[in-house]
Structure 1
Amino acid sequence: MSANAEQNGALEAIPDAAHFAAPQCHNCGADLHTPFCPQCGQKRVERVGSWQLGQEVWNKFKWFDATVVVSARRLLRRPGMVAREYVFGARKRHLNPIKLLLVGIGFLVLIVQRGNYLASANAPISSAMTIVQAWANLSFSLSVVAIVLATWLFYRRYGGFNLYEHLMLACTIQFVVVVVSVLTKLPTLVWTDAVFLSRHRFVSSWLLDAVGVLVFCIACRQFFVIDPRRGWKRLLVASAFFIACKWILVRVYALVLIRIVL
């Protein structure tokens, strides 16, 4: 079988029980008749579900190791395809998207704190922003919820993916956005002028929204194997729905934070 034929067959596959029961390593493609692959060493995998997801996150949770850098580089180049390969069983080749997202959020929170990104010369405002910063970690999950809602509503019949597999895609997309956010905030570690920080917050918010939509479209096209010529309308509507959901969730969360601060 040619490489193109194998690739086309993988794109047309469905992550069902028959796929994971096949005597084949889903990481490297070698024949698999034992619990561990004799070629790459990956353990026989199961479909992503609540038990499997929780067990894998618990067993593999580390804040940082060398494989994070390698996985992050692959993911930035092909976010949707990496998420798809992970869902179909390439667990040794790619890190868990939730783990990557947590590492990215950790770096982002560190930079925000180091650069006094939410600080203010006004003491009451600065005190309020300290409370906001303490609750900011939860805000990163809002985009993940919005992405899952959008992909589940518009693409749940594409490829036979379950809700947990949609969550893997959402974490992958959000990780890319978090990495871009980290890169854009690096200058704030050097330039701490209040005027610069105020302008930076305004510009970066619009930039990250644009990046989020772009990554959403690219990742969904790769993950669900969408033909741009025929599926661009649905993808456009799904992107608009994602932005609307995110906007509503952020506004509701902001109202909750205001009540907490007051």
Structure 2
Amino acid sequence: MDRRLRLGCQTYTWEMLGDAYQDGPDKLLEMIAGAGYAGIEMTDRMIGHYKDSPQAFARALAQQGLVLVAYAVGSDSGFTEPAMLSADLSAAEQAIAFAGYFPGALVCFGSATIRSPGARDDKFAAAAAFYNAAGELGRRAGVGIALHPSSHHNTLLFNRADYDMIFARTDPMLIGWVPDTGHILRGHEDMLDLLRTYSDRIRYLHLKDLDEDGQWAMLDTGDCDLDAVVTTVRRAENFNGWLVIEEESDQAARDPLAAVKANRDKMREFGL
């Protein structure tokens, strides 16, 4: 089934600046709306003073004409520490309650990550236990839940074998997938085959590019075949139509607003 496509922006472009970004969430909304995006994926680290005030955040979004696509949540446990499962699920419940205030918004949990020594199989088991339990919390609350594999340091979900493992251990009725084109390319995978194999899992898409040296690149300047990816994903049964651009290149580190504006302009060449 074909879906109407909409463009969102991920706030990690500013989060990666660390203490160099001090302007808070309201400035983020202003910049993202001003750059021409319709939606936003807000991380738990950038939500700021709105963390316990979804009503106020809804008003701020409305003022900027933005939709909350997803609330992205991570954990110091990497979701692979059984001793932290209870705390992680408590945080998940809070995130789900927050996202539940926004019709159609999902909670996106970050990549399972190795934080301590131990067998990889045990790490997969712990991650799957968290994702499945969080998915059940989402089901009860009527909020969609998805996981977001990445290629960052010590990720458990890097290559095709890792994707196969986590998807085999998680319930497709409870846990969706947010494919990230840049992270998939870093895993040296056949991206279109991966997207087709797990198309029923896809909820929305992260667009990011990677150059031939494995470095983040501005959109459509690297190895990502945007047209082929979007054509494939938009036919996925459970895809909601959101393309969320997450820019992490050196250009974005120097001038994040200019980078996200350039990416928005680039997508106009694709009719979006």
- Does the TM-score normalized on the shorter chain lie above 0.5? no
* Structure with the higher fraction of residues in strand conformation: 2
TM (normalized to structure 1)? 0.26
* Structure with the higher fraction of residues in helix conformation: 1
Larger radius of gyration: 1
